[in-house]
């Protein structure tokens, strides 16, 4: 009996596994069925379903942030990719490695313009660094190897591989061997020496950290530089991954509100950027500048986000003869009591975050003061919605839990944003993931109410009605229970803390509705 030859989908799966990829987040359709069938025949790739594509791409983002390895998504044709673009955008801004495999109409069928036919390449290019359409099964493995190499280009890139269904089902597939990724750009010692001269000879210098500079080891070099020179030390306003808590630097972020940031930075004369950009407004506002630092301040890059922040900061510390210092031990706060506030939430988190926890922060309005209050928490990692596209928190927390092998993931989640990707709760329950979700239930789009004032608009009843989430009220306990997640409701900080501590005792997901 003649043995069947490998098809394109099978060569693709073998290539993914051969490159060390472990997880595929999926929402497949008809065009992807041969890929799904290949997963049955070829062990080694865990497939996790999401009920909406923006959940799938958000889970991949969270997984990649924690694991530092490429996450795979499986999406159904151009419209499925379109549904997932918001969180692909966030992942791109977070500089994480992600491989999107998008099914497509058979090559001979697309010319008839069937219902799902669209310009998938154009959609992919909007949020991808690398895009390719496979034309025949023999090319699927090689294209996958090229895509994976692209994702592993420092600091992490988005690759989208478009796979027509006949290139998936036809025989003739070939497995491709791993390709060595391009090396990260080397540190430029001219930048190091220039930064050294500024730190030695100038006043009012800000060392601004972003990207990999916010990991624990680079922070130690930054602390030595600050101790040696007396420079100011801050983080970018929004960060992909920040290691915080005891043993790490209590670094404050550049504030989000434009006028607050401008006032805070008004005395800065020199900025040294480390995997960061000079402070820039999230939006433009009438009468305010786009950049939030003084116009006469100089900006000197120590290293780009593509380069190794630890090596750059270590080289700068060596040039300055800066000696590493031990981080001060700060007493953890007690659990506060009473009605929730932004500052109170930060102190509460500082008291109850467990060691090695991962925070997925989509708190939006209420997140302004949470950072400061949680500096003294146990060592933990903090992720933010880097691209500003809401609907990130729940799926990102889900993907982080898949990657974290047992560490508790805490999702600080605004209620309006939660409804964008609430289906992530179902995946959390299905996969039995240790995620504690705190829904900050103020029943309105408070961030947009604030932005009305910032842009000088004057909202009336129609506008305010559009920002009201309380007609009818959402019952988050019932919503969570309907997805298979245990849940409870409270209106006090101490009640929330008690429920959080209770949730840590179970390896399963738990949701807390905190009434604000």
Sorted by where each begins, the domain ranges of the chain are 8-169, 189-320, 342-515
Is residue 141 within 8 A of residue 11, CB to CB? The reply is: yes
Could you list the pLDDT tens digit for every one of the 516 residues in the chain?
Answer: 456 789 999 999 999 999 999 999 999 999 999 999 999 899 999 999 999 999 999 999 999 999 999 999 999 999 999 999 999 999 999 999 999 999 999 999 999 999 999 999 999 999 999 999 999 999 999 999 999 999 999 999 999 999 999 999 999 999 999 999 999 999 999 999 999 999 999 999 999 999 999 999 999 999 999 999 999 999 999 999 999 999 999 999 999 999 999 999 999 999 999 999 999 999 898 999 999 999 999 999 999 999 999 999 999 999 999 998 887 788 899 999 999 999 999 999 999 999 999 999 999 877 878 888 899 999 999 999 999 999 999 999 999 999 998 899 999 999 999 999 999 999 999 999 999 999 999 865 555 555 555 555 666 666 656 666 677 889 999 999 999 999 999 999 999 999 999 999 999 999 999 998
Query: Residue 171 contacts by C-beta under 8 Å, 6 or more apart in sequence?
Result: 4, 5, 6, 7, 137
- Upstream peptide bond of 472 is cis (omega within 30 degrees of 0): yes
Q: What is the pLDDT of residue 3?
A: 64
Q: Contacts for 496-502 with beta carbons within 8 Å, 24 or more apart? A: 496/340, 496/348, 496/438, 497/335, 497/348, 497/351, 497/352, 500/352, 500/410, 500/436, 500/438, 501/352
Q: Kind of pairing, strands 270-274 and 205-209?
A: parallel
Beta bridge partners of residue 48, listed in sequence order: 25
Does the structural domain 189-320 have CATH classification 3.40.50.1220?
yes
- Give the DSSP H/E element, type plus range, for residue 41: helix 33-41
Q: Angle 424-431/393-403 helices, nearest 10 degrees?
A: 20
Beta bridge partners of residue 190, listed in sequence order: none
Q: Do domains 189-320 and 342-515 have the same CATH topology?
A: yes
Measure CA of the first residue to CA of the last residue in the chain; give whole Å. 69
Is residue 9 within 8 A of residue 172, CB to CB? The reply is: no
Return the CATH number of the domain spanning residue range 8-169: 3.40.50.970
Distances (CA, A) of 214 to 110, 183, 275, 379, 409: 47, 21, 9, 13, 19
| 473-487 exposure pattern, b = at least 16 Cβ within 10 A, e = fewer | ebebbebbeebebeb
Radius of gyration of the chain measured on its C-alpha atoms? 24
Predicted TM-score of the model (pTM): 0.94
d(CA 227, CA 429): 47
Helices (H), 154-308: 165-169, 189-201, 216-229, 258-264
Identify which of 270, 213, 209 has the alpha carbon closest to the alpha carbon of residue 235.
209
Is residue 371 within 8 A of residue 350, CB to CB? The reply is: no
d(CA 113, CA 373): 56
- Give the DSSP H/E element, type plus range, for residue 206: strand 205-209
Distances (CA, A) of 418 to 203, 283, 423: 44, 23, 9
Q: What is the pLDDT of residue 1?
A: 45
Identify which of 145, 140, 9, 124 has the alpha carbon closest to the alpha carbon of residue 70.
145
d(CA 380, CA 316): 27
Which fold is adopted by the domain 342-515?
Rossmann fold (3.40.50)
d(CA 222, CA 31): 50
For residue 192 the two structure tokens come to 């190091």
| 104-141 exposure pattern, b = at least 16 Cβ within 10 A, e = fewer | bbebeebeeeeebbbebbebbeebbebbbbbeebbbbb
Q: What is the pLDDT of residue 389?
A: 96
């Amino acid at each position: 009996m003649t043995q069947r030859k490998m098809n394109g989908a099978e060569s693709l799966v073998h290539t993914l596994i051969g490159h060390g990829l472990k997880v595929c987040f999926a929402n497949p359709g008809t065009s992807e069925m041969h890929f799904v069938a290949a997963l049955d025949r070829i062990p080694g790739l865990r497939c996790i379903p999401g009920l909406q594509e923006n959940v799938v791409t958000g889970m991949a983002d969270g997984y990649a942030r924690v694991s530092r390895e490429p996450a795979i998504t499986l999406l159904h044709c151009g419209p499925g990719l379109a549904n997932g673009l918001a969180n692909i955008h966030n992942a791109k801004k977070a500089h994480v490695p992600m491989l999107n495999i998008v099914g497509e109409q058979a090559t001979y069928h697309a010319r008839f313009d069937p219902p799902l036919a669209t310009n998938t390449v154009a959609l992919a290019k909007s949020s991808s660094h690398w895009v390719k359409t496979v034309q025949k099964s023999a090319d699927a493995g090689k294209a996958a190897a090229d895509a994976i190499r692209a994702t592993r280009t420092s600091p992490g890139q988005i690759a989208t591989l478009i796979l027509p269904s006949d290139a998936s089902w036809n025989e003739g597939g070939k497995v491709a061997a791993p390709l060595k990724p391009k090396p990260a750009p080397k540190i430029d010692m001219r930048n190091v020496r220039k930064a050294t001269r500024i730190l030695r000879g100038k006043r009012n210098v800000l060392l601004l950290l972003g990207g990999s500079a916010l990991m624990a080891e680079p922070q130690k070099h930054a602390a030595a530089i600050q101790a040696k020179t007396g420079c100011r030390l801050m983080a970018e306003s929004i960060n992909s991954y920040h290691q915080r808590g005891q043993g790490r630097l209590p670094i404050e972020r550049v504030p989000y509100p434009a006028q607050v940031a401008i006032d805070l930075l008004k005395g800065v004369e020199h900025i040294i950027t480390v995997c960061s950009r000079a402070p820039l407004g999230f939006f433009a506002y009438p009468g305010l500048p786009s950049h939030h630092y003084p116009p006469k301040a100089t900006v000197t890059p120590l290293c780009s986000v593509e380069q190794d922040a630890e090596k750059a900061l270590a080289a700068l510390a060596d040039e300055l003869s800066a000696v590493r210092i031990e981080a001060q031990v700060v007493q953890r706060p007690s659990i506060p009591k009473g009605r929730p506030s932004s500052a109170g939430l930060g102190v509460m988190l500082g008291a109850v975050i467990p060691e090695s926890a991962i925070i997925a922060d989509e708190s939006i309005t209420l997140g302004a003061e949470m950072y400061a209050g949680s500096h003294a928490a146990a060592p933990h990692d903090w992720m933010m919605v880097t691209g500003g596209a809401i609907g990130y928190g729940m799926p990102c927390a889900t993907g982080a839990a898949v990657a974290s092998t047992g560490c508790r993931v805490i999702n600080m989640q605004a209620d309006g944003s939660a409804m964008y990707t609430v289906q992530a709760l179902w995946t959390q329950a299905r996969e039995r993931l240790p995620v504690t979700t705190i829904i900050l239930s103020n029943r309105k789009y408070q961030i947009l109410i604030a932005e009305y004032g910032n842009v000088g608009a004057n909202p009336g009843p129609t506008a305010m009605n559009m920002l009201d989430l309380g007609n009818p009220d959402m019952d988050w306990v019932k919503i969570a229970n309907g997805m298979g997640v245990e849940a409870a409701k409270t209106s006090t900080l101490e009640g929330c803390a008690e429920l959080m501590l209770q949730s840590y005792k179970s390896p399963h997901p738990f949701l807390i509705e905190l009434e604000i």
